[in-house]
Amino acid sequence: MRYCQLVLGPAGSGKSTYCAAMQRHAEVSNRVISVVNLDPAAEAFSYQPLLDVRDLIQLDDVMQDEDMDFGPNGGLVFCMEYLLEPDGLDWLKEQLGDNEDDCLLFDCPGQIELYTHMDVMKRLVEQLQAWDFRVCATFVLDAGYMVDAARFLSGSLAALATMVQLEIPHINILTKMDLLNRAARRQLEMFLEPEIHELLASEHNVSRFNKKYHKLTHALGKVLDDFSLVRYIPLNINDEESLTDVLIQTDFALQYGEDLDVKGKDFEYPDPEDRE
Ligand SMILES: Nc1nc2c(ncn2[C@@H]2O[C@H](COP(=O)(O)OP(=O)(O)OP(=O)(O)O)[C@@H](O)[C@H]2O)c(=O)[nH]1
Ligand SMILES: [Mg+2]
């Protein structure tokens, strides 16, 4: 069995930074977590990738191809589709090797349409599962955008759309907690144990638009509440304890360690005949 987190989330939400921080944190705890760059448009990141999709295909090359005439977003979708063609998959399979118990983080592109309603990521998940990977989604959102009720709801719906589309264990992480001031952090804490619909009801500066759709936002908040669908783990990457918390949750989602324990024990029931 192998393990992998698809690190997903909107552009600039902190996916690559999360991957780098988690890889470094794992080293400190004597574990190896490797990072796969799955973003064909990536320019720079601060981890050393185990493999890099840009060795297969680069967004710049696709966009410069005059026959195809793609812009950045269409070009990115083309790159991801290319990865899922038989040739691309052969390349990926070979690059991934077949080391037992590997733990990988896939640093994914920030175009959330790839996983909220297109099937590219879903197909990748199925392929990874066929190669004996246990896969979870780690959905990363910038905490700075989550401190008012309307944006909290909108972020939650993006997380929810991804969760429903991918159908794998799912964890939501709020990044950049180190950038919040005390007041913002307190505000956010209220959202972390949310009675979302009550929070929405108590919003003071309701715009005319929001007023019109108040019932709708209220109902959506209630759905999120009633089904406990979307929960968040705050992450401060400067705090090792916070990184440990997240690693425990992602290990749990992947059931990492359970098989390792069983393998180590080699338990046999005693034979009653042996007893005196
Ligand atoms: N202070 C602080 N800055 C962060 C944190 N996470 C990300 N950043 C900064 O936010 C910016 C975007 O972070 P990235 O990790 O590149 O985000 P991304 O989700 O990989 O972005 P795309 O790949 O472009 O979608 C960078 O300038 C990071 O340094 C964090 O936890 N704390
Ligand atoms: Mg990135």
Average of per-residue pLDDT values in the chain: 87
Instruction: Point out the least confidently predicted range of 39-48, 224-233, 236-245.
Output: 224-233
Q: Say what the pLDDT of residue 57 is.
A: 92
User: For position 270, what pLDDT does the model report?
Assistant: 62
In the structure encoding, which two tokens stand for residue 115, read together? 């996983």
Q: Select the more confidently predicted residue: 133 or 227.
A: 133
Tokens found for residue 150: 């309307």
Encode pLDDT of 141-179 as tens digits. 999 988 877 788 889 899 999 999 999 999 999 999 999
DSSP E strand boundaries for 212-251: 232-234
Residue nearest to atom 13 of ligand 1 (CA): 14
Q: Is 242 in the pocket of ligand 1 (CB under 6 A)?
A: no
| Ligand 1 centroid to residue 214 C-alpha, Å | 33
| Residue 176, phi then psi, degrees to nearest 5 | 65, 30
Q: Which residues pair with 141 in a beta bridge?
A: 174
* pTM of the predicted structure, to 2 decimals: 0.89
pLDDT surpasses 70 at 235: yes
Alpha carbons 176 and 41: distance in angstroms, whole number: 22
CATH says 2-55+96-258 is which class?
alpha beta
Pocket test for ligand 1, best of 5, 15, 17 (most atoms within 8 A of CB): 17
Is residue 142 lining ligand 1, measured as CB closer than 6 Å? no
- pLDDT at residue 264 in the model: 46
Comparing 274 with 71, the larger pLDDT belongs to: 71
Give the ligand 1 atom nearest the CA of 179: 1
Among the listed residues 87, 27, 11, 23, the one whose alpha carbon sits nearest the alpha carbon of residue 56: 87
- For residues 205 and 220, give the distance between their C-alpha atoms in angstroms, rounded to a whole number: 19
Q: Where are the domains of the chain?
A: 2-55+96-258
ipTM above 0.95, yes or no: yes
Query: 176: Cβ below 6 Å to ligand 1?
Result: yes
Between the ranges 72-76, 229-233, 259-263, where is the mean pLDDT highest? 72-76
Residue 110 in contact with ligand 1 by CB distance below 6 A:
yes
Cα of 170 from ligand 2 centre, angstroms: 19
Asked whether the predicted pLDDT for residue 107 surpasses 50, the reply is: yes
Q: How far is the CA of 109 from the centre of ligand 2 (A)?
A: 6
Q: Per DSSP, which regions of the chain are E strands?
A: 2-8, 34-37, 51-52, 103-107, 133-142, 170-175, 232-234
